[in-house]
Structure formats: C-alpha cells, structure tokens
Copies of this chain bind each other. A is one copy, B any other.
C-alpha cells in the first residue's frame, strides 16, 4: 500500500463514537482558539484584499466568510484562511512546525456549513486533518521548512483529508484527492524578506486547494497514487531529508491533535516562557512598586536570545520580538494582542523596567532545548532580597496546558463582539457535538446577508 492508501484507510476508519471524550473536548478548544484568531483577524488589510478578490470572481452562496460574505466554499476557505493567521496567535505544532487550524478549519467548516453536517462530523474531520498535516510536516521537517512554509504545503494534505472525510469519499477517492493536493502544494518563505502578505495567502490557498482536491476526486479525477513517497513526489522533490516512518507510526492508535500548542501572548513564541514568569511576578511588582526593583535577570536558551535579544525596539512588530520589552510588559501585567500598541511601545514605565533587565543564556535551560522551551527570572529587590521563578514549557504547550477557562479568556480578550454574542458563540463551540454546524454559523452571523439577485 502507498502512504496515501494507508492514510485513506485510516481516514475511512475514524468514527466519532470511538474518539475518547478528552480528545473531543480538546478538539473543541482548538476550534475555540481558531475562532479567537479568525474573528480578530477579519479587519486586517490583507484579509480585506483577499475578500475583494473573492467577491470579484464570485461564487455560489455556500459558506460564510468571517466578514459575513456568503460565497463559495473555496472563497470562504480562502478568506478565512487568511483571516485566522494574520494576528499570529493561532495554534502551532512544534514537531511539524505546522499551524493547522488556519488551513484545516476554514476548509472543513466551509464544507460542513455547505452540506449541513453535524458538529460531530466536523470534529471527526478536524481530527483527521490535523493527523495528516502533522504527520506530513514531521516527515519533512526540518529540511523542507528552510524553503517551504509547512503550514501551506503540509496543510494542503490536511485540508484535503478533512474535506474528504466530510464528503465521505471512498478510499480510492481519498488517494486521488491526496494526489491532487500534493501536486498543488506550494508556499515559499521568500516573502519573509519583505514581510509580505504571502503569509496570509498561504493558508487561504492551501485551504482552497484542499477543497478543490477533494471535489475533483469526488468527480473521479485522478492523481498520483504515491504522491508523498514516489520518485518524483512531494518528499523527494521538496525536501533534502525526510523520515517516512513518521507517516504511519502508531497511525490510528493516537490522536496527534492533542500535541497541538497555543499562544496566549501576542509575541514571538521564544518570549513566552519568560512572559509567563513575568506575569506571575506582576502582583509582587504591583504591590512593591517598580522603584523597589533593583534588577531583573532573564535566563533563556540560546536560540531564544538569537532572535529576541533586542534592547530598544522601535515598532510594534519589533517589540513582539524583543525579550526585554515582552518581559517588562508582562511585569506590568500585560501580554495580549492589544497590549502591543503605540502607547506601550513608548511607555516610560516599561522602558524604565527594560533598563533594569539583563538577558543571558542559562546553560541548564539551553541544554534542554528544543524539547523544552524554558526560561528563568530572578528579580532582585532594593532591600537585598530576591525571587526566582522558572519554567520548562511556555503556557499553551501540551506539557503546560491551558485550562478551558484560558481558552475562553483568550477568545474574550481578542474577539471584538458584544459580550452576549461571544457567550453564545462559546456556548455553541463547547457543545459542538450536539448541534449542526449551520447553527454555529447562524450564531456567529445572526443577521442574514440577503443578496438581491
């Protein structure tokens, strides 16, 4: 059997009733996290541009973009893929370096809305999509990642898998869908040199291409049966080294979605363990006043400091990549998306805190990287006493999991909607296995957008 055939067999076998309750619960929280990013991202400039293009080409009113636009499943996935990635707070899987939500959820939710499927079916499909995307990503990481944006390339396979599950494709059709998905997989890192909007285009297009692949397969359209491992397939063409065992090891015996990690701070992931600790110290700082702080020592792993040792950031974006700024911000009690703004950027209190701060590599922490992305903070007070706090995993890693309430807090802090509206959305999401996806969509977009034809 080719890898695609083994994946197809796995996908066909997944049944909601077999999925452990904690995995279902975790998947619902992944969806909550997706909507936190999506609903916050809808106003961003690249998303508006993607919506303009989608409106221009038009489409059947099958699914709902976050902007409220009723459009084709492919257009909705395109827009929502861009919108859920743009604030850079969406989920991340360390071993595959895949942001799965931003590709798989837009594709799966569009199909579930269109076909009036149940929340159970959506949960099944998302679990399947994550499994495939993570496995493809783990197989080709790290060599593929140097050139290619795994979220886009590996995500295309995941989106195709999720849509194939929702459309109840046969095993043969799923294999063909993977063939079409792999031969459309694209997304180069070159855009990062310009900070260009391709970052949003990638998940949008990957979600769209995943849908197209499954729709084509449903019509009987054929693709390569060994698109992953074949001589001229995805692995050989697009990575220098790859470990094919990652594709099938314990396939069907585990739920890789549970390895997913989440961001609670709106900054570079390498600052997060230290920010967790600084927030923990905030109460003491507030009580004593910052003048009582003599100095703050931040210990981290080498890679973190390679990227984030920046004493004097001058833009909001740069501030998110400054360990000094992020820790000072967190010591003053903040860390969320809105906390990185023009005011905090120049806030004299934060700047004063930054001056008291030194960063250095902590050898113990460094020796555990990359399995652990740890940090240590020692705060020295004016009276000669000090406090030390340490962490091995940033909050949101599986080993330092968010609570259900953490997800809800993140949602509430990010989503620009009325409280009552947010409560209804959270309620639907946390009871997703009991409702149809169209009900969730109606809750999200209570005013029907009537198109006058």
Complex Cα distance, B216 from A50, in Å, reads 7
Quick check: B49 and A221 within 8 Å, CB to CB? yes
A401 at the B interface (CB under 8 A): no
Interface residues of A in 74-97 (CB under 8 A from B): 74-75
With A58-B60, A60-B56 in contact, is A223–B196 under 8 Å at CB?
yes
Quick check: A237 and B148 within 8 Å, CB to CB? yes
Residues from chain B with a CB closer than 8 A to the CB of A205 are 184, 212
Interface window among A186-194, A249-257, A324-332, A384-392: A186-194
A234 at the B interface (CB under 8 A): yes
Complex Cα distance, B58 from A73, in Å, reads 10
| Closest CB in chain B relative to A200 CB, distance in Å | 9
Q: How does the 8 Å CB contact mask read for A38-61 relative to B, with 1 for contact and 0 for none?
A: 000000011001101100111110
| Closest CB in chain B relative to A93 CB, distance in Å | 21
| Closest CB in chain B relative to A268 CB, distance in Å | 19
Quick check: B194 and A183 within 8 Å, CB to CB? no
Residues from chain B with a CB closer than 8 A to the CB of A52 are 219
Residues from chain B with a CB closer than 8 A to the CB of A49 are 216, 219-221
Quick check: B59 and A188 within 8 Å, CB to CB? no
A197 at the B interface (CB under 8 A): yes
With A57-B73, A232-B147 in contact, is A196–B179 under 8 Å at CB?
yes
Residues from chain B with a CB closer than 8 A to the CB of A197 are 221-223
A62 at the B interface (CB under 8 A): yes
Q: How does the 8 Å CB contact mask read for A166-187 relative to B, with 1 for contact and 0 for none?
A: 0000000000100110111111
Quick check: B183 and A223 within 8 Å, CB to CB? no
A453 at the B interface (CB under 8 A): yes
Residues from chain B with a CB closer than 8 A to the CB of A220 are 45, 49
A215 at the B interface (CB under 8 A): yes
Task: Using CB atoms, name the residue of chain B closest to A48.
Answer: B219
Quick check: A147 and B237 within 8 Å, CB to CB? yes
Residues from chain B with a CB closer than 8 A to the CB of A202 are 183
Residues from chain B with a CB closer than 8 A to the CB of A198 are 179-180, 183, 222-224
| Closest CB in chain B relative to A109 CB, distance in Å | 16
Complex Cα distance, B192 from A188, in Å, reads 25
Quick check: B57 and A74 within 8 Å, CB to CB? yes
Residues from chain B with a CB closer than 8 A to the CB of A73 are 57
Complex Cα distance, B224 from A442, in Å, reads 38
Complex Cα distance, B58 from A62, in Å, reads 10
Quick check: B183 and A183 within 8 Å, CB to CB? no
With A58-B59, A72-B57, A74-B57 in contact, is A188–B193 under 8 Å at CB?
no
Complex Cα distance, B54 from A73, in Å, reads 11
Task: Using CB atoms, name the residue of chain B closest to A205.
Answer: B184
A233 at the B interface (CB under 8 A): yes
Quick check: A233 and B188 within 8 Å, CB to CB? yes
Quick check: B182 and A201 within 8 Å, CB to CB? no
Quick check: A190 and B221 within 8 Å, CB to CB? no
Complex Cα distance, B45 from A146, in Å, reads 39
Quick check: A53 and B215 within 8 Å, CB to CB? yes
Residues from chain B with a CB closer than 8 A to the CB of A225 are 193-194, 196
A406 at the B interface (CB under 8 A): no
Complex Cα distance, B201 from A215, in Å, reads 13
Residues from chain B with a CB closer than 8 A to the CB of A186 are 183-186
Complex Cα distance, B198 from A230, in Å, reads 15
A231 at the B interface (CB under 8 A): yes
Quick check: A232 and B192 within 8 Å, CB to CB? yes
Complex A-B: 7 CB contacts under 8 Å: A53-B221, A56-B215, A57-B72, A188-B227, A194-B222, A201-B216, A205-B212
